Amino acid sequence: MHEAAIAQAILDTALTAAGQDGGKKIKIIRIVIVAGALAGIEQPSLEMYLTELARGTPAEGTVLELKSTPARLVCRTCGHAMPFDSGRTVDVQCDQCGGPNRLEADDACYLESIEVES
């Protein structure tokens, strides 16, 4: 359900972005999205909903490209940084010195670009 809401938001945003381009008959063939590790976005389910929702719109058959922004756990004592993958559990302790980690990640999700064909 959540993916459906996000897919609809992506589609609406892409259609708006395409509309700014004169209003000629165009087709959206690629949508590029950038998402933070905490945005909770998974490509397969999102793609499935987008395919369904885009049917009958200028984005029918579009490719969805998902880029994720890097996230990391940084130790507040020694500064050691570890990449953090979405879906993992946060390690509260630095594996180098045992100091407290802090998660640097976000849940931003934005449209970067679309490719259109006219």
Query: Which residues contact Zn ion by CB under 5 A?
Result: 2, 75, 77-78, 80, 94, 96-97, 99
b/e burial code for range 23-37 (CB count within 10 A of at least 16 → b): eeebebeebbbbbbb
64, 47 in Cβ contact below 8 A? yes
Nearer CB in complex with Zn ion: 18/39? 39
**Torsion angle, CA of 45/39/56/29, rounded to 10 degrees?**
-100
The residue range among 49-57, 61-69, 105-113 that interacts with another protein, by the rule CB under 8 A, is 105-113
Q: Which residues bind another protein (CB under 8 A)?
A: 1-2, 5-6, 9-10, 12-13, 16-18, 20-21, 29, 33, 38-40, 73, 89-92, 100-103, 105, 107-118
